[in-house]
Each structure stands twice: as structure tokens, then as C-alpha cells.
Chain A
């Protein structure tokens, strides 16, 4: 068992070290400690790992040894910094030099020049931080300056595999506070007052959920606290980043929730597709047990709470709360009807709360800083911040955390750096397969739960995919429906058969075979599925279709009436042609064509036999003169 004093001692011991990583603290604090003079933080999140950050770390350690400074410079493998597009990412503190897209061959130079001699290698820094007036702090860059990190506050700052670094930055202080200074009802009141709403999609008030679970069933012999880490929206990886970068924050928050509702056991249901997150959670749970922060008699208060991991096995529907519980119980992850709600009868028929990772990540800060502090951020009905995963046609793909109420335009153009290749913005998709597409006319709408719903989308878990003029909105709707059809559990009729029929109608449209009546029928089917499905997956499945129908009706009409795909995506509606003025007759395309549809004599303009053409696009990719066009 660990006492409060011991917890504080760990914090004090490491605090100054950790301050090194907060640029404003300078270097002074670390001197005389016999500790490291520099910390090199390398992102070990999935994004950067995929682009080779593990090799960077290895090389870095080798080079430090070679230069004999391995005891002066500490290498820390952290979670995600957010700017995944620039990975692998490496930051050197205390100066805060931000190296992006680092390659192994750059390491010797960085070590010998920067870490040994103190000369920052400007050439390898993230270009935006290098200005005429010297090197800009990372926090001043466009990507970071509008962000406000609450849920992500430790991501990219601490080593997620070292509980003491978490403790050093106030970790487990919130748990200590609730156990020693607050009643369960006070905890719930604080969460209620903060205005925190579920970050997993629906936006249900978190405090309300806890209150129901605490009060609805008086004589429950067991209650459960569950964490939904089955982040399944394609293009969303907020939760993964939290788990990879700051796993203890979830553990601490769940223990707080356990105290609040009267539960002693928790489960984290995490996607098996997130191996790094799973591994770090395992390590974190082990460490928390070892430090007495999970288990019996936590911090000597008599409070008992423990956690188990359950791995999802590839079923999107398990993000739905009842399906998730059915899955933990060892069954097909099929949702069950509500009521009874989980607060009354959830996991193993016991009162249960389920919150998602990002929701939990806010809890310790709310406890430590107070409900008012949290409620001061955001909009009237949506408090705090929200993490988004930026993806698609945008420069700075990655992870951002912004105060609620930030506009989409700020997110896309300022933080995200706008659309690449000078293309025009067409739509932003939020809420994944449950959400909708937001057109340019709504770029200035402040992002919050209610605003997004009012324009036919939803917050969802935070995926934000940007589309440009080259994306066909019918095709996008079809993509999401294909996903839903694939992920439907098959239990209820509207979702099992309805989404399939909806998908087939979209196929009919994109292949140029649909009529205007089909459009009406499709819309009717959409509303039917929304109204009749058993769970949230089905009830929201038509949203991508409905929102594109609402804002991009002209594109649907182009497919249906003119049999054209304006964005040039839907293969069946395209014809490839050779512009005779541009064609040099080089024959490259004819040689590349897999079906021999291109003919012509050398040095004469070629032509495509559209009856043979399979529209594979190989010719277009080959042509050096831009002579091949699709229309």
C-alpha cells in the first residue's frame, strides 16, 4: 500500500525533472540534481511507430553512447504529439527543438551537433518553427497555438510506461482528493457541475450517468465501471492516443468513478487492433497495482478497486454500450434493447457505467481544478475541449484538442493548415459512419454537440475527415454505408436488411442506373432505418446519406439525371478520352492498357475504344503529357 505522503514524495522527487519539458521553466531547475541535462522525447504512438520511430530511438541510444553522453541526455518514448503527418517526431528539451520527419541517418548529426555541442540543427527542424527571428516555440506554431490540451495534456510529455512521471505531473492526486476529501455525492456533483458530456458520440451528461448508477438500484451487490476504448470510427484515433500517451489518466478516472458509484471492479474494453495501447495499458495497470493505486485499501482509505482488460475482436458495433457489455460477457456483441439501461442492469445484469477514454481523461483535471474551471471552457451547452483526429485532404493530419466552440474553419485552415495541392474544400465529415458531411457554408459554425446535430452531423468520437473537390459525395456516402453493412450485427431487421438495401441503392446511383423515384425511395428508407433500428448503430447509419442528400443533392442529381459523376470518381459514369492536341503519340498508354483499348500509330494522337475500356486509369497515370482526361 502507498500512503498519501509517499505519493507526494514521488511527485516532489520528479517534479523538477518534468518541468524541464515545460519550456517556460527553463533549465535552471535541473542543475545540481545530478540528473539529465536534456530530455529527448521521441513519439512512440502508432503513427510515428509506423513511420519508424522505434528505429530512431535505437539509433539515438547508440549515438549517445558513442558520444559518451548517455548519462546526460535522457531518451523518453512518449505518446502522440498530435502532428502525425510529420512523423517520426522528436523534441529536445529544455530548448523545445522540434525535429520532424526524422530519419535514422539524421541522428548522428543531431547528437553530435545539438546534444553534444548545443547547436540546433535548424535544417531538420519543423519548418514552421524556423523563422527569421530565430526559432519559434512549438506552442506558437499554427498547429498548436489554438489548441488547448486537457485530455491530451500528458500526451507527448511523459513516458506512458513510467507511472512516476504521471505522478510527477499531479497524477493520482485527484483520486487522493476524492478518497480523502470528498463524498461520492460530491464527486458526482462536481462532474455534473462541470457540464462534461460523453465524448464517445452521444453527448450524454457524464455526471447524470454516474448519478443514475449510484442511485437507481439501492441494494446491488456488485456494480461495474467500464471504459469504452473500442474506438472504431474509421479515421478516428483520439482514444488510442490517450491510451498510448497517458494510460494512467484512464485508470485514475475509473477508480474515481468506482468510488462515486460504489463499484469495485472495472473493465477496459480496448480494440485488439491497438497493440501499443493494449501493451501500455497492461503495463500501467500492473504498475498501478504495484504502487497500491489499484487493489485493496487504496491510499490507506479502505477503498478497493481493480481493473481488467478485455480485448475487442473486430466488431464496430461493440462500441455501442449494450453490445460492449454483451461482448465482455463472452457473447456475440449484439446490442440489447433499452430499458433496462446499464445504470440499472448492465454488465452481468449489474448496474454499470460506461464512459469512453476521452471522457475519463477529463475527470482528474475536473476534480483537481474544479467544475468551474472546466465549465469556463467551451460553449453554453458543451463545456471543455474536444479532441479531433484530422484526416483526409488536409495538410496537418493528426490529433488536435480544441475548446468547444472553435469553428471548423479555424480547425481546418489554421490548425490543419488547409487543403493540399490548392484544391477547394468540399466537405468535412464528422461523427464517422454515424455522422454527416458538413459543407463549406457551415465552416464558421462553432463546433459543439448541438450545433453539429442541427446541421445534420454529430460530434461522434471525434474523427474529422476533410474532403476536397476530387471526392464524390455519393461515393463517400456509399463508403460509409458499406462500412455499416459490414459492421451491422444482424440482429434487427432494419439494420440487417435495410442498410444493405440502402447500400445497393447507392450502388445503383453510382453506376448510373437509378431514377428519381429511387432517390425518393432511398430517402424514405433512410428515415425508416433511423426510426426503427434497435441500437445507435442502425439509428444513425443513414446519416451520411441524409446529410449528403441535404447538402449535395446536385451531385446525386448529376448521377441520376445526367449520369455523370462531377468529381470524376464513380467509375461507371466516367469515360476516358485522349486529347488529340496534347497527345504526342508516345504509345506509353497503349502499352500500359491491360485490355488493349488504346490504339494509334506512333507519333500520331491515340484514341480509346470506350467499349473495351475498363476505366482502370492506368493510361492516365502513365501519360506524361496530361493528354488523357476522364469526364
Chain B
């Protein structure tokens, strides 16, 4: 333990604790900008400076580990020098920022803006001088980059490289000209960016933002010729409430359905249905590969960010990918085939919208071989954040909405489907069905597979199924995927089934979810809290296995026949190809 004083009051903290954490533990919040716990600790922005006795200059609290050398030192967290310095840091940042707050996607949810208010920045033009000027990069389908709002905190760079093992953006040039950009200033779309959107949720300002597709939705909704349907992914309900004041980890499933209906969608479906379908097809495919000498390990294909990663960085694993479309695409395909036929609607007149925790879904809807009815399975994909914008724009008082159900028949998801949103969820759901099938379809086959739950990046589990052992691995975060795949490649790991989710913690922590400022992220495990909401929903569901879902049974009976049937393949499966984008 180290004994220190904070603002003259004595405390004892564990050696190695940073000043920032020591203060936090004792009720003092130190403002930060560049610091992201476990991801970015570079001491660059200098917002968190404190005064420390014996130090020549101010100290960055986020990266200063207290040690025995600091015994007895006094730390001042809000002395005039500290407050004045923090304010000046902000004013300097503003002097190279376009300060276009009024028209900024992040206005009201911007860490820079909030700190300016908190630290009393009363003259945003205190420093004058040259500003760097950048063209906005709108090349990508899922996001845009506006470096004119970038404060060089490098949080995006850290998540891209460290969490995701991608590293297509980084700091280039130096000094005042330092910019966060792609190699040679190339467009993001020309790089092997996987569209995961993790950089967006890491960005404290409006420099990185999802492409806003809500205008397209409004336009469709206003078009009397069109039947506009919507589906919402499992993870959306675990985060959406945060935008309306609910505690992190609150499920707002009922209000989600109610709000979509009030926005004017003609049918409101639950992607849970697609998730259950995925399990039917994927567990069937897995058993087939196991029994008939197919390529193993089989790797899940629900996460479009992961698919892009695999295509660019590990093309040798493409044969391992399950040929199943993602739940979004499966649901979309069924809507435009089975449901359209049933309702006697020309699929061309359907505008199929999805609400996703994900930015990569914006890319996925435009992929090849994703058009079961001859038109794209899904037409517009918006993120949880864009839905928030729509709800606000429509003046819906979210908290006052009733809890409603999604429309049947393509809705009644099982508990297995709802946990898709958390890392390990797809694996657990698949196991629920696969083990049932492999053990003679006993109704009391196991439901919970706790070994694959939890937020760890890489998890392994072995399950004895009859006379066989099924070895599975679950990874989330693409850097973890990279690690595991290299181990598989080198023969260091022997598994038959791998679940990969691009985003750390799975879809609950997707790049399209409600953005929590670093201050919240650093001290709350968003992944765990949001996952809890989903597991709680699962535990309360009457039907917890995909194959038991009445909606699923109906679709197979009336349309698809058997899992893996010819028509199932035409409708629900897809193909992949290696990409040559710049890595």
C-alpha cells in the first residue's frame, strides 16, 4: 500500500494504482479525454493533469502509477493551476477544431463539449491561428470521418489496432500536422476496414460517426406505394434504453416494439426469428460437417465485421465459415419470400429495414449473394443510435410508451435467439439444438452452457455429447480472433466449432450501440451489463431452444422443409470471397 494525500486528506491505496483510479476510488472524478481503460493509456491529451508535490510539472493522472516513491505526496486535483491548465488545454483543442457544434451528430453527447461546459470555457476563440483542414471521408458505407473535429486522442486508433487487430487508421505526419488517417490518405473504403464501428463508439467527438440512413427510412415510410417492414436485433433492446435514461443493462424489448410501430412501420418483426433460423441451419451444418468429414473447425458467420476480417486477413479460413447468412439477412430473406407470398405482396414493393447494434450491417446488406427474392434481402440498415434519432425526431416519449409485442409470425424468438447479442450466445444457442439432435432429440436436453458465457475475449469448452466430445471456442474482438486463428493454423489449438464476434463482448457492445462516454465506459463493463439484460430475458422465455419455437416450426413446415434443404440453401445460405483491399 502507498499512503498519499489527495487535496490534503490522507488515503491508502494499493501500489500500482494510478492517480486517477486512486481519486476515483475516493470519490473524486478526474476528467479525461484520451484515456480508455485497458485500451488507450498514453497520457496525450493532458486534461487529467493534477498537481503533485515534488513534481516539476503537472502530472497526467491517468498514466501515473503510484509507487513507494510517492509515499506521503500530496495530490491536488482542483488547484487553480490545475483548473486553469485544463481549461487552456480545451481552448487549444478548440483552436484547431471546426466547432460546428450546432450541426454535429454528437452535439449533446460530445465529451469535448461536455468538458468545455464543465471547466468553464467562456471564450472558444481564445487562441487564434491556423487550423488544419480536411476533406470529410464519406467513402464507406457504414461511416464517415471528419478530421476537422478530431482532437488526436487516438482512442479510435487504439481500438482499431489493439482490440480489433485491424489498424487501418493511425497517426500520420507529425507535430501540428499530425492527423488520424489511412495510409497515404486513401479512402477508408479502399482499406481493409471491417466496418465494425468500434472506432465510432470510442470517439469522444463527432469526428467519427455512422452514416446516417434515417432519411431513407423516413422517405420510405412516407411512400404510400411501399410496404415498409422493420426488424430489430436482440442486442438493440439491451442498449436502446440508455438513450432515454434507463440504467445500463435494462431491456426495453416492449417499448422497442411499440416505438417502431409508432414510427409507422407496416410490420414490426424481431430479428430473434432470424437468429432461431440461423441456429436451425447452422447446427444442422455443423452436425453434417462433423459426421461427413466436412471442413472443421466450423466458424460462425453472424458477424459481418468478422466476415470482412476473415475475407481480408484470413482467406485461408473461408472454407471454415458457415455458409449461413446472418440472422438479419435470414429474416430479411424470409420476409421477402415466404411472408411476401403469404401476404401476397410483390417483394419489390417491400422496403425492409433493420435496426442493428452494428455498423457492418450497413455493409452486409449490399453484399453479393444476399438476395433470395431477386431483390436485396434487406434494404436499409440503421443502428441503435439512428433509431434513437428517429424516436426523438418523431417526438415519441419513449419512457411513456406501452410494452408491446413484435408482430407474429416472424417474431416469436426463443431464449436461444435473444442471447445472440452476447459473446458466447450463438454458441450456446447452437449447442442447445445440436446437443438435442445428437443425443436423440430428448426434450430434457441441456439448456444452459455456462462455460461459454462471460466477457473474456477467448473461451474454450469441451462438451461430451453421446460418445463424442465437441470442442468449442468462443472469441470476441477481432484481435482475439486473430490470435485464436493463428493458434488453430499452427495446430496449437484443436477445436471443432468456433463462434467469432467482431466486437468485444459481442453485439451488445456493437459499433452501432448507444455511445457511452469514456467516463462511463472506464468504470462500467458495458459488455457485461448489457449481456445481463439478454440472459435475463432468456431465462424468462417459455421457449428457450430454437427448434422449439412455433414460428420456426411453421416456416419449415410451410416453406423451407428441412434445415439444409435445397430451398433453405437458396434462401438462407451465402458465399464468401477473399478480398484484396489494402491492409
Contact = CB atoms under 8 A, between A and B. Distances in A.
Q: Please tell me whether chains A and B touch each other in their complex, using a CB distance cut-off of 8 A.
A: yes
Nearest to A495: B175
Nearest to B57: A531
Contacts of A332: 171, 174
Contacts of A487: 175
A328 to B, nearest CB: 18
Nearest to B67: A339
Interface stretch (A22-30, A165-173, A532-540): A532-540
B173 interface: yes
B49 interface: yes
Interface string B29-64: 000000000000011111001000000111010011
A532 B175 contact: no
A532 B85 contact: yes
A489 B65 contact: no
Interface string A492-509: 111011111100100000
Contacts of A315: 174
B26 interface: no
A11 interface: no
Contacts of A496: 152, 175-176, 178
B155 to A, nearest CB: 14
Interface string B125-165: 00111100000000000000000000110000000000000
Contacts of B43: 336-337, 492, 534
B57 A492 contact: no
A497 B93 contact: yes
Given A490-B171, A490-B177, A504-B130, A339 B64 contact: yes
B96 interface: yes
A267 B58 CA distance: 32
A531 B129 CA distance: 22
Contacts of B56: 539
A339 B65 contact: yes
Nearest to A490: B178
A528 interface: yes
A493 B65 contact: no
A194 interface: no
B95 interface: yes
A493 B93 contact: yes
Given A496-B152, A496-B178, A501-B92, A490 B129 contact: no
Contacts of B130: 500, 504
Contacts of B178: 489-491, 496
A454 to B, nearest CB: 15
A557 B202 CA distance: 47
B46 A500 contact: no
A332 B130 CA distance: 25
B174 A493 contact: no
B42 A490 contact: no
Interface string A531-572: 111100001000000000000000000000000000000000
Interface centre among A486, A493, A496, A500 (most CB of B within 10 A): A493
B115 interface: no
Nearest to A491: B44
A39 interface: no
A488 interface: yes
B89 interface: yes
A304 interface: no
Interface string B225-252: 0000000000000000000000000000
A383 interface: no
Contacts, number: 102
B64 A500 contact: no
B171 A531 contact: no
Contacts of A531: 49, 57-58, 81, 85
A500 B176 contact: yes
A337 B175 contact: no
Interface in B90-107: 92-93, 95-96
Contact of B129 (A336, A489, A504, A532): A504
Contacts of A501: 92, 95, 127, 129
B175 A486 contact: yes
Nearest to A487: B175
B519 to A, nearest CB: 18
A531 B56 CA distance: 8
A120 B57 CA distance: 60
A534 B176 CA distance: 15
A532 B89 CA distance: 9
Contacts of A500: 129-130, 175-176
A532 B173 CA distance: 22
Contacts of B65: 339-340
Contacts of B89: 493-494, 532
Contacts of A504: 128-130
B42 to A, nearest CB: 7
Interface centre among A315, A492, A533 (most CB of B within 10 A): A492
A488 to B, nearest CB: 4
Interface in B544-559: none
A339 B67 CA distance: 10
A485 interface: yes
B88 interface: yes
Contact of A492 (B45, B84, B88, B129): B45
Nearest to B96: A497
Nearest to A500: B176
B46 A494 contact: yes
Interface in A334-364: 336-337, 339-340
A621 B293 CA distance: 90
Contacts of B60: 337, 534
A493 B57 contact: no
Contacts of B64: 337, 339
Contacts of B176: 485, 488, 490, 496-497, 499-500
A494 B92 CA distance: 8
A500 B129 CA distance: 8
A337 B63 contact: yes
Nearest to B173: A490
A494 B85 CA distance: 10
A426 interface: no
A530 B88 CA distance: 13
B95 to A, nearest CB: 6
Interface in A461-512: 485-494, 496-501, 504
A487 B176 CA distance: 9
Interface string A510-534: 0000000000000011001011111
A490 B153 CA distance: 11
A337 B42 contact: yes
A485 B130 CA distance: 13
A614 B473 CA distance: 73
Contacts of A498: 92
Contacts of B152: 490-491, 493, 496
Interface centre among B43, B44, B89 (most CB of A within 10 A): B44
B85 A493 contact: no
Nearest to A333: B174
A498 B94 CA distance: 11
Contacts of B44: 491-493, 534
Contacts of A533: 46, 57
A496 B56 CA distance: 20
Given A337-B64, A532-B58, A489 B95 contact: no
B32 to A, nearest CB: 13
B104 to A, nearest CB: 20
B99 to A, nearest CB: 14
Interface centre among B56, B171, B176 (most CB of A within 10 A): B176
Given A489-B174, A497-B127, 5 more contacts: A491-B152, A497-B93, A504-B129, A504-B130, A525-B88
26 contacts: A336-B42, A336-B43, A339-B67, A340-B65, A485-B175, A488-B176, A490-B152, A490-B175, A491-B42, A491-B44, A492-B43, A492-B44, A492-B46, A497-B176, A500-B130, A501-B95, A501-B127, A501-B129, A504-B128, A504-B130, A530-B57, A531-B57, A532-B49, A534-B46, A539-B56, A539-B57
Q: Which 4 A-B pairs have the closest CB atoms?
A: A490-B178, A337-B43, A488-B175, A497-B92
